[in-house]
Amino acid sequence: MIQDGAILIRDGILVEVGPSRRVENLAQARDAIEINAAGRVVMPGFVDAHTHLAFPPAGIDAPEPAAAVRALHTVTGQRLEVRTRAYLEAMARHGTTTVEVKTGCGLDEGAEAKLLRMLCALRGEPIDLIPSFLFRLPSELNGGSRHATEWVVAKLLPKIRRRGVTHFADLAWDCDPALLPCFDLYLEAARELGFERKIHADGASPAAAIALATLHHVVSIDHLEHATASEVRQIAEAGIMTTLLPGTSFSGDAKEAPARALIDAGAAVALGSNFNPHHAPALNMQTVVALACGRLGMTIEEAICAATVNGAHALGCAERVGSLEPGKAADLLVLNAGHYRDLEHSLGTNLVHLTMKRGKFIYKEGEVAPLQADIFLPHL
């Protein structure tokens, strides 16, 4: 932490970071516009490393995958875009500047294409989107899993790759050992097509998922809620990141993720909101940080790093965002807080005063309009 610090921004890029006296005396700072953040914390914008923002879509009555796909065909692309933009704007107001967004409409190529067109139209409005394709084998296949997987890797994945929108190929793990060859085929095909890979491992027995993740050198294991001491060591030794989702502990019988064990073993941990408009409608990364401290045993410093620079590493964009370093994009927050530790106790409170994306303010805290005295007076 730099007390009485300053940053110099030019063309949306951080040029210098350091004590105010030194930065203000730089020749490049002579004609700069000054933004006074005295008494406030300036920190990197949040990187939400795991969301289901796009699917199932908002505004439908049936969030289950098969029903959500059917509903998706009845919604116009324009309406999908408007609803999704509203969530992105809410994220920006709460300090998120980069977000991962999962698609994954099963075996419906048309629905997948519809979501990708929407995400392409929303890139950079107002925050950066990093799409991932989530491969989930439908439960109703009745023995046709191998055939379905072969179709996905031969037809669907190449088309998604050619669109150039999706960054990651994600896999929804299922503990059925009969599906292991399908998952192995999918991850290998994704690698050959140039996708970085991820694995959802939210089951009670993640040993096989962790072994598969190690074998295929995935970027991260997401949704990890169970892990033995030996599995934690295996993850750390393999250099695989884990993306933890503290908000899931509020729903169903979800368990608390083993954050403390992972960090103590040397594993890198990122955080995500797991935002889903139906099952996990919490998009405030400040709340995620507070929950990580209060329920997962992380320190506030660990939680902030996990929600910023580690999240950027989990999404493959740490060379551009995630920390306040010269050469990176000016994605930052100005908080109504005198110390970063205030984030640990801000559950449900929005501390963001300003959100900046690539050197431009995309959110400014507004004033509450006073009520005129002659309106709505109570009858005494």
The answer to whether 6 touches 24, Cβ cutoff 8 Å, is yes
Q: Is residue 356 part of a domain?
A: no
Instruction: Give residue 285's pLDDT band: very low, low, confident or very high (50, 70, 90).
Output: very high
- Is 185 found in the same domain as 61? yes
Mean pLDDT value across residues 306-335: 98
CA distance 200 to 135: 10
Least confident of 60-74, 167-181, 268-282, 311-325: 60-74
- Is 4 found in the same domain as 56? no
- Is 136 found in the same domain as 12? no
- Is 156 found in the same domain as 87? yes
Tokens of 379: 């009858």
Is a pLDDT exceeding 80 seen at residue 143? no
pLDDT of residue 280: 83
- Is 62 found in the same domain as 4? no
Q: Is residue 359 part of a domain?
A: no
pLDDT of residue 121: 93
CA distance 280 to 131: 18
Q: Is residue 40 part of a domain?
A: no
pLDDT of residue 88: 95
- Is 21 found in the same domain as 65? no
Instruction: Give residue 124's pLDDT band: very low, low, confident or very high (50, 70, 90).
Output: confident
Q: Is residue 334 part of a domain?
A: no
Total domains present in the chain: 2
Is a pLDDT exceeding 70 seen at residue 379? no
CA distance 282 to 274: 8
- Is 14 found in the same domain as 71? no
The last residue of one of the domains, among 264, 291, 314, is 314
Mean pLDDT value across residues 290-318: 97
Q: Is residue 341 part of a domain?
A: no
Q: Is residue 368 part of a domain?
A: no
pLDDT of residue 48: 98
- Is 218 found in the same domain as 120? yes
- Domain hosting 138: range is 46-314
- Is 65 found in the same domain as 19? no
Mean pLDDT value across residues 68-76: 88
The last residue of one of the domains, among 314, 340, 355, is 314
**Residue percentage of the chain with pLDDT more than 90:** 77
Is a pLDDT exceeding 70 seen at residue 375? no
The last residue of one of the domains, among 314, 338, 366, is 314
Q: Is residue 357 part of a domain?
A: no
